C-alpha cells in the first residue's frame, strides 16, 4: 500500500513535468466518467472481448502488449484467453485502479501494469507476440493513441506478430441537417435578440461530435481513408484524399458526416464493428462537418470532395482538417463549390 502511494506521488510528479496541454490530456482520463462511458459502450467492449476470448488458439502462451490499457479490461480478456503474460501500459494514473482491479480478479501474476509513456518505460519483455489497443478517438484520429501504437509496433512487435485491431477505415457521407444546423450554427445569428456572429465562425470551424440519424444520410457512404496497422507510418496520418459522394435522392446537403469501421482480421472469424449512423450507438458517435453553403442535389448527381487532415503543429493531438467540395450539374443555379477549414481541439 505504502509502495503504491509512493508510485502515485512519482506519477504525479511525472505528470506535472509535462507540457500543459499534454498534462490536460492525460489528466482528463483520470476521471472515472470516461472509463465508465467506454466500458458501458457495448459495441466497443464486446467487439474486443469477442476478438480476444473467441480466439484462444491465437492468444495461448503468447506475450501480449496492451497499449493505453486504462482500467485493464483488454489485458484481462487476453489473460483469460490464455496469454502467457500481458503487459499493460498507460500514462494516466488510472493504472493504479487497474492494478487493484487485476489483483481483485486474481490475475496479478499474469498481468504487469506499467505507468508511463510507451516511449520511456522499461519493457519486461524485449519482444511481444501480439499488440492489443483501443486507441481510437473521435473521427478516428482526434486525441488518438495511434502514434504510440505504431511506436510499440516498430520497437517491440515480433516479426509476424499480430495487432488487434489491424484495420481502420474512415467513411464520409452527405447529410440533410437543416434543423440542427439552424439550431447549432444559426443560433448565433440571434441570441436573445443579439447578433453573436463572432461565435458563429468559431462554431462552424469546430466539427460537431454527435449522433446522426440514418434518415438524414443523403448520399452513398464512401470510404475515404484506410489504415493498415501493420504498414502505416506516422507521417501517413497527414493525408489528402479525393472522393465522390453520389446522391441517393433529391435533397439538400448541409454537412458531411464522418465515422469509422474497425476490423480484427487476424481472428478465426473476423470481428468488425462500425461507428456509423446505420448501426448501434457507440461513445464515438459520428463527426459532423457543416458546410458554409447548402447544396441542392438530385438523385444520381455527384459531389466531388476532398478531405485533408493533418495533426496540428503545436499540439499533435489536435487536428487541422480541410474539406473541399464541388457540385457539378447541368443547372447553373445549383452549381456550388467551396472549401472549409476545421479544427478539432
Partner 1 sequence: MAEAYPRSDSESASSSDNEEDWLNKAGDEDDEEEHEQVSVVSLFDDKVFPDAPAMLAYCKDKFGFDFVGVRDRLGLDFHGCVKLINLVRRSVKEGAALPREITADHLADDDKLLIPVLADDALIFCLDDLPESGKGQQGGSSAEIKAEEAQAGTGEKPAVDDLLQKNAQLQAEMEQLAKQFTNYRLAVEQTLDKRWGVDEEGEKKKAESSSSKTAAPEPKVDDSAYYFESYDHIDIHETMIKDTVRTNAYRDFIYANKHLFAGKTVLDIGCGTGILSMFCARAGAARVLAVDNSAILDKARENIFHNQLDSVITCIRGRIEDVVLPVDKVDIIVSEWMGYCLLYEAMLPSVFFARDKYLRPDGLLVPSHASMWIAPVSDGEYVAESVSWWRDVYGFDMKAMQAGIYTDVKMTVMPKDAVCGTAHAFRMLDLHTAKVEDLVFEDKWQTTLSDKVEALDGFLVWFDCFFAESRTEAVEPSLTAKEWAAAGRERVAFTTGPFDTATHWRQGLYLIDKGKAKEIEVGPGKKLAGEIRYAIQEDHARGLSIRVTWGLEDADKQSQTWLLN
143 is catalytic: yes
Verify binding: residue 44, partner 1, rule CB under 8 A: no
Q: Return the closest-CA partner of residue 130 out of 150, 160, 102, 151.
A: 160
Pairing of strands 167-175, 222-228: antiparallel
Among 63, 65, 73, 336, binds partner 1 (CB under 8 A): 73
**Rounded least distance, CB 245 to partner 1, Å:** 29
Annotated active-site residue in 4, 12, 120, 143: 143
Verify binding: residue 240, partner 1, rule CB under 8 A: no
CA 309 to chain centre: 14
**Rounded least distance, CB 164 to partner 1, Å:** 16
Stretch 93-152 residues interacting with partner 1 (CB under 8 A): 97-98, 100-101, 104-105
**Rounded least distance, CB 12 to partner 1, Å:** 13
- Residue 276 grid cell: 456509423
Give me the residues paired with residue 242 across strands: 306
Pairing of strands 251-264, 286-297: antiparallel
**Rounded least distance, CB 46 to partner 1, Å:** 8
Verify binding: residue 11, partner 1, rule CB under 8 A: no
Among 5, 9, 21, 335, binds partner 1 (CB under 8 A): 21
Residues with Cβ < 8 Å from 181, sequence gap 6 or more? 254, 255, 290
One symbol per residue from 83 to 102: x for binding partner 1 (CB under 8 A), - otherwise; what is it? Answer: --------------xx-xx-
- Residue 302 grid cell: 455527384
User: Could you give the angle at which helices 32-40 and 42-53 cross, rounded to 10 degrees?
Assistant: 70
Nearer residue to partner 1 within complex by CB, 183 or 250: 183
Query: Cis before residue 145, ω within 30 degrees of 0?
Result: no
12 is catalytic: no
Pairing of strands 128-133, 63-67: parallel
Verify binding: residue 20, partner 1, rule CB under 8 A: yes
Give me the residues paired with residue 302 across strands: 246
Nearer residue to partner 1 within complex by CB, 96 or 284: 96
Stretch that binds partner 1, among 68-76, 163-171, 241-249, 294-302 (CB under 8 A): 68-76
One symbol per residue from 179 to 218: x for binding partner 1 (CB under 8 A), - otherwise; what is it? Answer: --------x---xxxxxxxxx--xx--x------------
CA dihedral for 199, 195, 253, 41, sign (positive or negative): positive
Please tell me the distance from the alpha carbon of residue 107 to that of residue 114, in angstroms, as a whole number. Answer: 15
Nearer residue to partner 1 within complex by CB, 39 or 123: 39
SS3 at position 132: strand
Please tell me the distance from the alpha carbon of residue 293 to that of residue 185, in angstroms, as a whole number. Answer: 12
Is residue 113 a contact partner of residue 102, using CB atoms and an 8 Å limit?
yes
**Rounded least distance, CB 97 to partner 1, Å:** 5
**Rounded least distance, CB 314 to partner 1, Å:** 8
Summarize as ranges the residues that interact with partner 1 (CB under 8 A): 20-21, 32, 35-36, 39, 45-46, 49, 71, 73, 76-77, 80, 97-98, 100-101, 104-105, 187, 191-199, 202-203, 206
Amino acid at each position: 500500500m505504502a509502495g503504491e502511494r509512493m508510485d502515485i506521488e512519482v506519477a504525479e510528479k511525472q505528470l506535472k513535468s509535462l507540457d500543459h496541454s499534454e498534462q490536460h490530456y492525460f489528466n482528463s482520463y483520470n476521471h472515472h466518467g470516461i472509463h465508465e462511458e467506454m466500458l458501458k459502450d457495448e459495441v466497443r467492449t464486446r467487439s474486443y472481448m469477442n476478438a480476444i476470448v473467441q480466439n484462444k488458439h491465437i492468444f495461448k502462451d503468447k506475450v501480449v502488449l496492451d497499449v493505453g490499457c486504462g482500467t485493464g479490461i483488454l489485458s484481462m480478456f487476453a489473460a483469460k484467453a490464455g496469454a502467457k503474460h500481458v503487459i499493460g501500459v498507460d500514462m494516466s494514473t488510472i493504472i493504479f485502479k487497474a492494478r487493484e482491479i487485476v489483483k481483485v480478479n486474481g490475475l496479478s501474476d499474469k498481468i504487469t501494469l506499467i505507468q508511463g509513456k510507451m516511449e520511456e518505460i522499461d519493457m519486461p519483455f524485449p519482444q511481444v507476440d501480439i499488440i492489443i489497443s483501443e486507441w481510437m478517438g473521435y473521427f478516428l484520429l482526434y486525441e488518438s493513441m495511434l502514434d504510440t501504437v505504431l511506436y510499440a509496433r516498430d520497437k517491440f512487435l515480433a516479426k509476424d506478430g499480430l495487432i488487434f485491431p489491424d484495420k481502420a477505415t474512415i467513411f464520409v457521407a452527405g447529410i440533410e441537417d437543416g434543423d440542427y444546423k439552424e439550431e447549432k450554427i444559426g443560433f448565433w445569428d440571434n441570441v436573445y435578440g443579439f447578433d453573436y456572429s463572432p461565435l458563429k465562425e468559431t462554431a462552424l470551424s469546430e466539427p460537431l461530435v454527435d449522433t446522426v440519424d440514418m434518415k438524414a444520410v443523403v448520399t452513398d457512404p464512401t470510404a475515404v481513408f484506410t489504415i493498415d496497422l501493420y504498414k502505416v507510418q506516422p507521417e501517413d496520418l497527414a493525408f489528402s484524399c479525393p472522393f465522390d459522394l453520389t446522391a441517393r435522392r433529391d435533397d439538400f446537403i448541409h454537412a458531411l458526416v464522418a465515422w469509422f469501421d474497425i476490423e480484427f482480421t487476424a481472428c478465426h472469424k473476423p470481428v468488425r464493428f462500425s461507428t456509423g449512423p446505420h448501426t448501434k450507438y457507440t461513445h464515438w458517435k459520428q463527426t459532423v462537418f457543416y458546410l458554409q453553403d447548402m447544396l441542392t442535389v438530385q438523385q444520381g448527381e455527384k459531389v466531388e470532395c476532398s478531405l485533408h487532415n493533418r495533426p496540428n503543429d503545436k499540439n499533435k493531438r489536435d487536428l487541422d482538417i480541410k474539406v473541399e467540395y464541388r457540385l457539378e450539374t447541368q443547372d447553373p443555379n445549383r452549381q456550388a463549390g467551396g472549401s472549409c477549414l476545421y479544427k478539432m481541439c
